């Protein structure tokens, strides 16, 4: 029995189409959702991520207020720019592409974004809202994973969810989301300090792996029929590829798909959902703005 492949591309396309429809409705009332993406320097991975975000904005009919700054930009210049964008009522979302050059304090920069425009969901106020279950912007990757589980009708209530990884971007918010009443799961977080990782992963009905290391989870570590969500994106040297490398996740996909009930591929699984949820959050911010100003 081979696992059902969770097609993140097609599910992300559904989310984007729904967002685009709502954007065109909102535009009729005079509000065009607008996202400002700030890119500092020319880190190739960051440039690629930003171009993906800009493409999604264009497809959704949103306004793209992207700002590209040189590597030499000072921290104060970025903070002043964010202050201007915070005050600009035509901008609904602000995103600073990470990592930033080493002379800039990332925390200071992300914390300077207004929580009402923090469509990445990283501001301490939005993190606090996530913890207490209040309404706020949810981090895009974990929220995208919950959409994948819903669309595939993966039962979460009363199920054992094991999250491998404790980052602020995926691991921690993912665990907090699955604890919410609407998902009602029992959650375990594992990390580099966890001894005998497979003792935990084998009990998981839903296994979410965001460790940042290829082959962290192999087939023998997976419970039969489990839903396996692979968040990792790793570049592995591969001379047969034109680029000289291939992408793989944190799970041994070939082995895992023979044991799991559901599995996300890399690429084409979780990745497309992250950008889809970003434009979803930007739309939500624009709708909130309209509600407050009507």
Q: Examine residue 130 and state whether it is found in any structural domain, yes or no.
A: no
Question: Residue 231, by phi and psi: left (phi above 0), alpha (psi -120 to 50) or beta?
Answer: alpha
Is the confidence at residue 1, as pLDDT, over 80? no
Number of domains in the chain: 2
Shared domain for 106 and 153, answered yes or no, is no
82 is a domain residue: yes
> Would you say 15 is a known binding-site residue?
no
Q: Is 293 within a domain? A: no
Same domain, 95 and 198: no
Cα gap 102→118, rounded to integer Å: 22
Domain membership of residue 151 (yes or no) is: yes
Question: Cβ neighbours of residue 166 under 8 Å, at least 6 residues apart?
Answer: 172, 189, 191
Residues 145 and 262 in one domain: yes
Residue 24, domain member (yes or no): no
Which one of the listed residues 16, 53, 159, 257 is annotated catalytic? Answer: 53
Same domain, 86 and 52: yes
pLDDT tens-digit readout, 209-237: 999 999 999 999 999 999 999 999 998 88
**What CATH number has the domain bearing residue 75?**
3.40.50.10860
CA dist 50 and 38 (Å) reads 9
Catalytic residue among 16, 97, 172, 252: 97
For tokens 């993190």, the residue is: 127
The response to whether 180 counts as a known ligand-binding position is no
Instruction: Report the residue count for the chain.
Output: 294
| Pairing state between β 234-237 and 245-248 | antiparallel
CA 134 to chain centre: 19
Check residue 269 and give its pLDDT: 97
Q: Are 65 and 287 a contacting pair, CB within 8 Å? A: no
Residue pLDDT, tens place only, 102-132: 999 999 999 999 999 999 999 999 999 999 9
* Residue 81 confidence class, pLDDT cut points 50, 70, 90: very high
Is 97 an active-site residue? yes
Range of the domain at 74: 32-114
Instruction: Write the CA distances from 47 to 156, 188, 276, integer angstroms.
Output: 36, 35, 18
Same domain, residue pair 198 and 235:
yes
Residue 237 falls within a domain, yes or no?
A: yes
Q: How far apart are CA 139 and CA 119, in angstroms?
A: 8
Catalytic-labelled residue, pool 16, 117, 118, 120: 120
Grade residue 245 by pLDDT with cuts at 50, 70 and 90: confident
Q: Binning pLDDT at 50, 70 and 90, where does residue 244 land?
A: confident
Alpha-carbon distance of 22 to 19, in angstroms, equals 5
Question: Nearest Cα to 222, choosing from 270, 193, 189, 255?
Answer: 255
Annotation marks residue 27 as catalytic? no
**Residue 294 scores a pLDDT above 90:** no
Q: Say whether both 51 and 160 belong to one domain.
A: no
- Report d(CA 202, CA 199) in Å as an integer: 6
Same domain membership, residue 147 and residue 60: no
Q: How far apart are CA 95 and CA 50, in angstroms?
A: 10
- pLDDT value of position 44: 86
| CATH number of 192's domain | 3.40.50.720
Q: What is the pTM of this model?
A: 0.95
Instruction: Tell me, yes or no, if 53 is annotated catalytic.
Output: yes
The reply, when asked if residue 166 is annotated as ligand binding, is yes
Residues 103 and 171 in one domain: no
91 is in an annotated binding site: no
List CB contacts of 55: < 8 A, sequence separation 6 or more.
none
162 membership: H or E segment, kind and range: strand 160-164
Work out the burial of residue 134: count CB atoms within 10 Å of its CB; fewer than 13 is exposed, 13-18 middle, 19 or more buried. Answer: exposed
- Residues 277, 290: Cα–Cα separation, whole Å: 20
Is 282 a domain residue? no
> Residue 199: inside a domain, yes or no?
yes
Round to whole Å and give the CA distance between 138 and 238. 36
Clarify whether residues 155 and 108 are in a common domain.
Answer: no
What number of CA atoms fall less than 13 Å from residue 144's CA on the CB side? Answer: 36
Task: Write down the pLDDT at residue 238.
Answer: 84
Mean of pLDDT over the chain? 96
Residue 93 and residue 188 in one domain: no
Q: What is the DSSP letter of 62?
A: -
Q: Are residues 106 and 206 in the same domain?
A: no
**Per-residue confidence band for 243, with pLDDT thresholds at 50, 70 and 90:** confident
241 and 146 both lie in a single domain: yes
Q: Looking at the DSSP assignment, which residues form a beta bridge with residue 161?
A: 187, 206
How many CB atoms are closer than 10 A to CB 116? 19
Confidence of residue 242 (pLDDT cuts 50, 70, 90): confident
């Amino acid at each position: 029995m081979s696992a059902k492949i969770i097609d993140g591309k097609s599910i992300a396309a559904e989310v984007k189409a729904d967002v685009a429809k709502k954007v065109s409705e909102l535009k009729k009332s005079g509000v065009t959702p607008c996202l400002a993406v700030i890119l500092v320097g020319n880190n190739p991975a960051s440039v690629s991520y930003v171009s993906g975000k800009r493409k999604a904005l264009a497809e959704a009919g949103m306004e793209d207020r992207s700002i590209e700054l040189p590597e030499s930009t000072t921290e104060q210049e970025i903070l002043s720019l964010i202050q201007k964008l915070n005050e600009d009522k035509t901008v609904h979302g602000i995103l600073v592409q990470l990592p930033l050059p080493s002379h800039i304090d990332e925390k200071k920069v992300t914390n300077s974004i207004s929580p009402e425009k923090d469509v990445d969901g990283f501001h301490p106020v939005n993190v606090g809202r996530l913890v207490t279950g209040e309404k706020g912007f949810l981090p895009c990757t974990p929220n995208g994973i919950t959409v994948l589980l819903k669309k595939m009708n993966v039962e979460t209530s009363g199920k054992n969810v094991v999250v491998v990884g404790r980052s602020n971007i995926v691991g921690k918010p993912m665990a907090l989301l699955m604890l919410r009443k609407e998902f009602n799961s029992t959650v375990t977080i594992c990390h580099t300090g966890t001894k005998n990782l497979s003792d935990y992963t084998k009990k998981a009905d839903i296994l979410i792996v965001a460790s940042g290391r290829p082959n962290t989870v192999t087939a023998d570590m997976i419970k039969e029929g489990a839903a396996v969500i692979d968040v990792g994106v790793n570049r592995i040297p591969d001379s047969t590829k034109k680029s000289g490398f291939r992408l793989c996740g944190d799970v041994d996909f070939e082995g895992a798909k023979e044991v799991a009930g559901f599995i996300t591929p890399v690429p084409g699984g979780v990745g497309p959902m992250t950008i889809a949820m970003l434009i979803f959050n930007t739309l939500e911010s624009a709708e909130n703005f309209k509600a407050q100003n009507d």
